[in-house]
Amino acid sequence: MSPSASSLTGSPAGSPAGGGAGGTAGGAAADVPAIRLRNLTKTFGAKNIGETKAVDGVDLDIRQGEFFSMLGPSGSGKTTVLRLIAGFELPTSGTIELEGQDVSGKAPFQRDVNTVFQDYALFPHMSLVDNVAYGLRVRGMKKAERRERAVEALDRVQLRKFVARRPSQLSGGQRQRVALARALVVEPKVLLLDEPLGALDLKLRQRMQIELKELQRSLGITFIFVTHDQEEALTMSDRIGVFNNGKLAQIGTAHEIYQRPTGAFVANFVGTSNLFGADVATTLYNRSSQFVLRPERLTVHWDGAGTTAGLEGVSSLHGTVTSLVYVGHATQVRVALEGGPAVVVLVDNDLPAEQSLVGKNVSVSWADNDAVWLPDAA
């Protein structure tokens, strides 16, 4: 998706908040959400040629100054939500409020938001300073002032010394930072980021994650970040919305999403989960619901003797080791449990010194209160 020139810009820099409901002279009151989505729905296509409900009744409040990530598998609707907030798409139904003002039917340039795209969409024939100053030029700012502001923005992303270069004379990470500077120079209320680190290699990506988070914290601007990379979302976000089939499956902090998934989809999508069926739960706990245990919450007992038998608040099952995967700081041990699922257990690297542990009879235990119960899949 390539933005048009107008899509790179929000409303004029320094323009008033818009004076809508909830807005005050100096901006919206702190308790008014930066973004409020109500029953937001977007359907593509038509009944006779086939319809896709890309976004299906989404309700969401994103707080001012929040780093909010929209996480989900490919096709789950997160980019469409971002494009709806930006105004590149109009909703089929439902509303979008920006700091208390309904912007649902407004054009992109009438919304005080700006977008950073995965492909950066920089102008190749312009210097960095001209790229960054572009949005200010469109707004009619005088040359000297817009140059000063653009240089300041480039300084903020540590690129001041390259102001005269063209984008082709930069590395991928540096181009990414120019795109950020260009989006931020117009001081939008909300910055939308569509998988902006997707094209970078792992090391650079990790460095940019930290830089981006620090930048957001220092500026206090609301960031809405789209990614399908769960680690990225868990590392950077104040809160995360997990999407599945156009709906929000769960909203919460990284800790809540990881430790307390509210359904099997989130439990499986975010991190590695060991899902125990209702049959096992009935046998162990006399409770007919699924539950989840994270690999680091399980313990392997290599003597297989069920060392935890009879311990209050601890459960265990016997099983057979099927494989071991060394992951650097630890080893993932796969165990096929008798009367239970095949599970992954994360163990320290001090494994028993035996020729081969595959095929060994072991037992696997866990504290009962580490089990996360999932609602019935009705």
Instruction: Kindly list the residues in this chain that would bind ligand ATP in the complex (CB under 6 A).
Output: 44-45, 52, 54, 72, 74-80, 228
Cβ at position 89, least distance to ligand ATP in Å = 8
Cβ at position 168, least distance to ligand ATP in Å = 26
Cβ at position 233, least distance to ligand ATP in Å = 12
Nearest residue to 246 via CA among 99, 45, 26, 59: 59
Cβ at position 4, least distance to ligand ATP in Å = 15
Nearest residue to 114 via CA among 54, 58, 170, 179: 179
Nearer to ligand ATP, 74 or 369 (CB): 74
Nearer to ligand ATP, 76 or 174 (CB): 76
Consecutive H or E run containing 233: helix 230-236
Cβ at position 274, least distance to ligand ATP in Å = 26
Nearer to ligand ATP, 52 or 349 (CB): 52
Tokens found for residue 90: 């109009």
The whole-angstrom separation of Cα 91 and Cα 285 is 46
Cβ at position 227, least distance to ligand ATP in Å = 8
Nearer to ligand ATP, 78 or 182 (CB): 78
Nearer to ligand ATP, 54 or 344 (CB): 54
The whole-angstrom separation of Cα 331 and Cα 230 is 21
Cβ at position 224, least distance to ligand ATP in Å = 13
Nearer to ligand ATP, 76 or 209 (CB): 76
The whole-angstrom separation of Cα 230 and Cα 69 is 10
Cβ at position 87, least distance to ligand ATP in Å = 15
Cβ at position 106, least distance to ligand ATP in Å = 20
Nearer to ligand ATP, 135 or 246 (CB): 246
Tokens found for residue 332: 């993932």
DSSP 5: G
94 within 8 A of 115, measured Cβ to Cβ? no
Nearer to ligand ATP, 78 or 175 (CB): 78
CA distances from 78 to 26, 73, 99, 228, 357 (A): 31, 9, 21, 9, 43
Tokens found for residue 124: 């190749």
Nearer to ligand ATP, 74 or 218 (CB): 74
Nearer to ligand ATP, 244 or 290 (CB): 244
The whole-angstrom separation of Cα 256 and Cα 262 is 9
What is the side-by-side strand order in the sheet with 291-293?
Answer: 274-276, 291-293, 372-373
Nearest residue to 87 via CA among 68, 113, 64: 113
3-state secondary structure at position 106: coil
User: Would you say how long the chain is, in residues?
Assistant: 378
Cβ at position 83, least distance to ligand ATP in Å = 8
DSSP for 124-162, please give it. TTS-HHHHHHHHHHHTT--HHHHHHHHHHHHHHTT-GGG
61 within 8 A of 35, measured Cβ to Cβ? yes
